[in-house]
């Protein structure tokens, strides 16, 4: 397992990070703990969670993921784990937070309350990386960054990052931090995969020029790149199978990930992986890691037996021919996820 620096910080993490958003919903506690132990044994030191997990967001289990991670954390040397969690963005935005009666925001009150509750559930007195889960472009970044700065000064947080942010918002936040003399976002956690390369349009340049690290989520395209949704399949218990049943916003998200173009590109990536002699999940994970603006790729599973194909990417470097073949698919089928 290779290690890379998060932004300009002193923190180095394994270039694969274990995400936990299914823990407490698709994966029960026993399976979640088993996955965490196997990840640690494989050399992963970086773990990502959120107050809004598990998914889909629901008040009946809000915070359960952090509780499971906290239980596991007690079995490890705290210094050996780089732990990341997130505070919900505004509930009037693209998704409604499951915490604080659905009245979440990125003001001082909400951020302060959120970190205290997360620390309690996680059973620790600090988190290594604290992230804003989604932005609010209608609220001044000054209050958000000043509040996050206070958390770092209090020793409750080591560094901060953002998630689901765009180029304007990331630059706006960096300007506010520079002007105010506060901590800055060292990381950005956005969707990035073979089926969704929009990050390269503008944000990748910001990351390279400003020394902000991408920690991409959904490198397997929400499971689509595994091939399990090919030919109209709707696997029982799979996230997007469930989202299509739920309807509403969840179904809209499912259709963004699972559609004619994304399935067509997946079929081509499966062929590339077969020719390279690897599993397509291994291909997708290794491809994500192989970008200079990426520090650590966040993977996620709901079953223990899904881990091997991910771990196979740990020390794998794809050949130039394989990378070029992947680029050719991107040019042929542009923006599968819109």
Is 126 one of the catalytic residues?
no
pLDDT in tens, 22-81: 999 999 999 999 999 999 999 999 999 999 999 988 899 999 999 999 999 999 999 999
At residue 234, the 3 state secondary structure works out as: coil
* Separation between Cα atoms, residue 252 and residue 255, nearest integer Å: 5
**pLDDT surpasses 80 at 115:** yes
pLDDT in tens, 271-294: 999 999 999 999 999 999 999 999
Percent of the chain with pLDDT over 70: 100
Kindly report the CATH number that applies to the domain delimited by 3-224+280-322: 3.20.20.100
Contact 188, 217 (CB under 8 A): no
Whether the pTM exceeds 0.75: the reply is yes
**Hey, which residues does 78 pair with through a beta bridge?**
none
**pLDDT surpasses 90 at 12:** yes
**β-pairing verdict for 12-14 and 16-19:** unpaired
Contact 195, 183 (CB under 8 A): no
At residue 284, the 3 state secondary structure works out as: helix
pLDDT in tens, 75-94: 999 999 999 999 999 998 77
Confidence of residue 204 (pLDDT cuts 50, 70, 90): very high
The mean pLDDT value of the chain amounts to: 96
φ, ψ dihedrals at 139, nearest 5°: -115, 140
Give the model's pLDDT for residue 304. 97
* Separation between Cα atoms, residue 32 and residue 72, nearest integer Å: 9
Contact 20, 46 (CB under 8 A): no
CA dist 291 → 6, 138, 167, 195 (Å): 14, 32, 18, 15
List 12, 47, 53, 126, catalytic entry: 53
Give the model's pLDDT for residue 109. 97
Q: DSSP state, 134? A: S
Q: Average pLDDT, stretch 234-259?
A: 87
Which segments of 43-103 are extended strands (E)? Answer: 46-48, 82-87
Give the model's pLDDT for residue 237. 80
Confidence of residue 242 (pLDDT cuts 50, 70, 90): confident
How many CB atoms sit inside 10 A of residue 82's CB?
Answer: 22
For the record, the structure tokens of 215 come out as 């920690």
**pLDDT surpasses 90 at 247:** no
Pick the closest to residue 281 from 254, 243, 316 (CA basis). 316
Spell out the residues 6+ positions from residue 102 whose beta carbon is closer than 8 angstroms to its own: 59, 91, 96
**Hey, which residues does 299 pair with through a beta bridge?**
18
Q: Average pLDDT, stretch 4-33?
A: 97
pLDDT in tens, 119-178: 999 999 999 999 999 998 988 899 999 999 999 999 999 999 999 999 999 999 999 999
Pick the closest to residue 46 from 256, 220, 295 (CA basis). 295
Confidence of residue 236 (pLDDT cuts 50, 70, 90): confident
Give the model's pLDDT for residue 248. 85
* Separation between Cα atoms, residue 89 and residue 86, nearest integer Å: 9
* Separation between Cα atoms, residue 178 and residue 173, nearest integer Å: 9
């Amino acid at each position: 397992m290779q290690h890379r620096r998060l932004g300009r910080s002193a923190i180095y993490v394994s270039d694969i990070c274990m995400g936990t958003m299914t823990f407490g919903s698709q994966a029960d506690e026993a399976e979640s703990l088993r996955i965490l132990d196997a990840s640690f044994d494989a050399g992963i030191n970086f773990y990502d969670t959120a107050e809004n997990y598990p998914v889909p967001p629901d008040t009946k289990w809000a915070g359960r993921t952090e509780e499971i991670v906290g239980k596991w954390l007690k079995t490890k040397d705290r210094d050996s784990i780089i732990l990341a969690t997130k505070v919900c963005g505004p509930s009037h935005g693209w998704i409604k937070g499951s915490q604080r009666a659905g009245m979440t925001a990125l003001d001082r009150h909400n951020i302060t309350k959120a970190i205290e509750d997360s620390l309690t559930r996680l059973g620790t007195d600090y988190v290594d990386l604290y992230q804003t889960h989604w932005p609010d472009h209608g609220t001044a970044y000054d209050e958000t960054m000043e509040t996050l700065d206070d958390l770092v000064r209090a020793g409750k947080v080591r560094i901060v990052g953002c998630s689901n942010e765009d180029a304007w918002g990331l630059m706006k936040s960096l300007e506010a931090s520079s002007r105010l003399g506060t901590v800055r976002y060292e990381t950005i956690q956005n969707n990035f995969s073979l089926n969704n390369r929009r990050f390269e349009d503008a944000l990748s340049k910001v990351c390279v020029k400003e020394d902000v690290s991408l920690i991409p989520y959904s490198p397997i395209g929400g499971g689509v790149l595994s091939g399990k949704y090919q030919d109209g399949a709707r696997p029982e218990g799979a996230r997007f199978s469930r989202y299509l049943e739920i309807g509403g916003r969840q179904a809209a998200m499912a259709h963004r990930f699972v559609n004619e173009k994304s399935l067509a590109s997946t079929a081509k990536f499966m062929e590339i992986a077969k020719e390279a002699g690897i599993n397509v999940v291994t291909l997708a994970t290794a491809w994500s890691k192989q970008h200079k603006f990426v520090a650590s790729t966040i993977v996620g599973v709901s079953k223990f037996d899904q881990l091997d194909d991910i771990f196979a990417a740990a020390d794998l470097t794809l050949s130039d021919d394989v990378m070029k073949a992947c680029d050719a698919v991107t040019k042929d089928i542009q923006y599968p996820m819109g």
